[in-house]
Structure 1
Amino acid sequence: MNLSRVFLILLILCALIPFLRSKKMLVTLVIVASFGSVFYFFMYEKFDWKVEGFRSNPNLKTVRADWKGNPVNPQGRFLNDPVTPLPAFGELWRWQTETNPQKQEKKTDTFRLNVTKNSDFLHSNEDCVVWLGHATFFIRLNGVTFLTDPVLDSPSFLMKRFSELPVAISDLKNLDYIIVSHDHRDHCDEQSLKALAPQNPNAVYLTGLGVETVFGDWVKNTKIQSAGWFQAYQTDTTKIEVIYLPARHWGRRYLNDTNKNLWGSYLIRANGKSVYFGSDSGYGAHYQELGQWLGGVDVALLGVGAYKPEWFMSASHMGPKDAVKSAHELKAKRFIPMHYGTFDLSDEPLGDPYRALQELQKKPENQGFIQLAGVGEVVRL
């Protein structure tokens, strides 16, 4: 950030001070301006949004013939396709200073997810999907077991967990695969991965390019495969097939590693059955393209929370309406919503996505399509 911009920010601060009505407003202004300056410098000012080349894992098979690889900028940082720059400082400032129209509703909302304490599914052989909260699912297909984006407690003191786990962490053992879709802390949690590692010594970790550098030391496991979009992981394809696919999102673990590590979604397929795990994604043309390319999926697991204000969040998260639309475009037979009710990550009340989905269920095209699974509920495939 050059000195002229620093001077401009200081001038704006000085100009606003006389209009502040309280000490609290002054403190808020200083915090937002300071964070905004850092945000602008590290995430926007220094980031080059020009496509310079393409990256993939040369050791993995690319399953789409016309795919060049993931677009990267001149510094080798990943970009969405099409390129979607992160919000500018002015947009961040607007979000942090405008009034949340659901502020009072959020304060009084007592919604909690229904949790069924149940570990029987872990000892079964049937094909199933079980939501464990947020973006964590237990999936069994053709006898092969998966755990997606394991965040099994509060990732930090800033992120309180509002739903219990339906099983004890110690019960999550002898898994075949552990999926880590991207590096954000509500999807890639150090304590959860460290807890799972010793009780899953033979698990293979499936992630995106670069993300292995974040958690590799935590799990002390050399069985990590990192893929680019439209790349198939090395599995016993007579039993299971797993492909890393596009998502419209971004990556960052710290202040200066924006988009250093890739983000994505997953197709898990075996014996004519398929599960699409969408992880984090804003709405985009990739859903319709994937629906046409894949020819449909049995179940789509898509996020519906952390979506307000929509003008700010829609680039990286979907709300209920867009998620339902995306699931239809994927040609899914069933849609199970996720990424809501477990953590408070944005402006909407915890129960807002659930209530919106209940209304959407009433539409003829969504009856029997939207499955509002509870945490711990076994959904058979």
Structure 2
Amino acid sequence: MCNYARIRRRLGTGLAMALLLLGVGCLSPKPFDEAAWHKTVTATDPAKLHAPHQDAEGRYFNPWLPQDKSSWDLFRWWLSRSSLGDLNDADFPTPTVANDGAYLRDPAAPASLTWVGHATYVVQWGGQVVITDPFFSQRAAIVSRLVPPAFGPRALPRGVVVLISHNHYDHLDSDSVAALAGREALFLCPLGLGELLREMGAKQVRELDWWQSTEVGGATFTFLPTQHWSRRLGQGYNESLWGSWMLERGGEKIYYGGDSGYFKGFKEIGRRWPDIDLALLGAGAYQPRWFMHYAHMDVPELFQAFADLGARRLVPTQWGVLDLGDGPAAWPAQDINNYVAKHPQWRGRVLLMPVGGRVLLETGR
């Protein structure tokens, strides 16, 4: 029997009821060959990380390995039983700590990293405040958040630097853009997103291509490739670019990975930026593997990317706040802990932060 609540979360009440009334039952999850997928990734040419990545029609693409998905694949996933069975969000609560963010308005505060929730992190260093993919709203399109943000945009000082990785709703939230634009924020974004950000209210916008850098207030921000894609209402499939960010200041290096499947780019980034201090890598929405493998890493791939980057500490991101894949939103934390228990070489190097958690960059604690 199909789980109505599950389909409703994915499709919305009206369409879910229509499908159920038509007698559509839950499909079985499709099998997936991880070994064959890893062979495909291994066969890609790393030189294509620097190849042209926009076609004659203006659409962007990953030149090392194009995505091959159909609309039916999306609907099949929505109508399939969970690949993780009947696990519930209530059984895997997301850890939270109280944090009003008051220290962010103190330019003399020690350098730190704060998790606001999902992909939203705040870096405070050298009197500068940087925020990644700000998402303060209650919903990302039709998906409701399970845990509120640690604090709102008013906690941030004026002149904050905003890093946008791509245009998906859980990474680019129009209300959050408008709120930060009113605080004189500078938005750094991928190619093709500047006009949309200005429509949302942003006044200061810089668009970057892969491997391009810009300097802001003594820090350098470099936009880097990821294996992903883009689409939202008002922008067609791959009409804007996607990617990740390298943040550098005073010898400190922080890599913010945005959304990405596993690809050889992590090794190239680690080669070009040795001694990364923190790697913030996506650890959510990787099930079911047959559907998610191209654009999201599972836990073994997460640790392979961490190893490829050569970073000192790993901060798993994008878990515990939104139900975007099979299983509970906070299940990845348990999956990561299980993996580390079996691979003790990673003990002490993974920071599973609570929402509202703060890490001092000088000490890693």
Distance 1:284 1:233, change over 3 A: same
Partner of 2:63: 81
Paired residues for 1:133-282 under 5 Å: 133-156=117-140, 158-198=142-182, 200-201=183-184, 203-221=185-203, 223-236=204-217, 239-254=218-233, 257-282=236-261
Distance 1:68 1:312, change over 3 A: closer
Out of 90-99 and 364-373, give the one that drifted further.
90-99
Q: Deviations over 1:45-84 (max 9, x none)?
A: xxxxxxxxxxxxxxxxxxxx99866411221100013132
CA–CA separation in structure 2 for the residues paired with 1:347 and 1:225:
36
3-state secondary structure, aligned to 1:295: coil
3-state secondary structure, aligned to 2:158: coil
Q: Deviations over 1:33-56 (max 9, x none)?
A: xxxxxxxxxxxxxxxxxxxxxxxx
Distance 1:290 1:303, change over 3 A: same
3-state secondary structure, aligned to 1:104: coil
Q: Which amino acid aligns with 2:353?
A: A
Equivalent pair of 1:247/1:280 in contact (CA under 8 Å): yes
Deviation at 1:29, TM superposition (A): 4.7
Partner of 1:368: 348
Partner of 2:31: none
Distance 1:318 1:255, change over 3 A: farther
Percent of aligned pairs with the same amino acid: 28
Distance 1:255 1:208, change over 3 A: closer
Q: Which amino acid aligns with 1:232?
A: S
Distance 1:99 1:176, change over 3 A: closer
Equivalent pair of 2:49/2:225 in contact (CA under 8 Å): no
Paired residues for 1:274-293 under 5 Å: 274-293=253-272
Q: Which amino acid aligns with 2:252?
A: K
Partner of 1:113: 95
Equivalent pair of 1:302/1:338 in contact (CA under 8 Å): yes
CA–CA separation in structure 2 for the residues paired with 1:288 and 1:68:
14
2:304 to 318, 325, 333: 325
Distance 1:188 1:168, change over 3 A: closer
The number of equivalent residue pairs is 322
3-state secondary structure, aligned to 1:233: strand
CA–CA separation in structure 1 for the residues paired with 2:270 and 2:143:
34
Equivalent pair of 1:70/1:78 in contact (CA under 8 Å): no
Equivalent pair of 2:102/2:155 in contact (CA under 8 Å): no
Out of 262-271 and 208-217, give the one that drifted further.
208-217
Query: Normalized against structure 1, the TM-score is what?
Result: 0.78
Equivalent pair of 1:281/1:316 in contact (CA under 8 Å): yes
3-state secondary structure, aligned to 1:335: strand
Out of 370-379 and 262-271, give the one that drifted further.
370-379
Out of 148-157 and 105-114, give the one that drifted further.
105-114
Q: Calculate the aligned-residue CA RMSD, in Å.
A: 2.5
Deviation at 1:96, TM superposition (A): 3.2
1:300 to 279, 283, 294: 279
Partner of 2:22: 27
Higher Rg: 1
Deviation at 1:373, TM superposition (A): 1.0
Distance 1:272 1:91, change over 3 A: same
What stretches of structure 2 of length at least 5 have no aligned partner?
1-16, 28-46
Q: Which amino acid aligns with 1:368?
A: G
Query: Normalized against structure 2, the TM-score is what?
Result: 0.81
Deviation at 1:133, TM superposition (A): 0.4
CA–CA separation in structure 1 for the residues paired with 2:22 and 2:92:
30
Partner of 2:42: none
Deviation at 1:252, TM superposition (A): 0.5
Distance 1:155 1:96, change over 3 A: closer
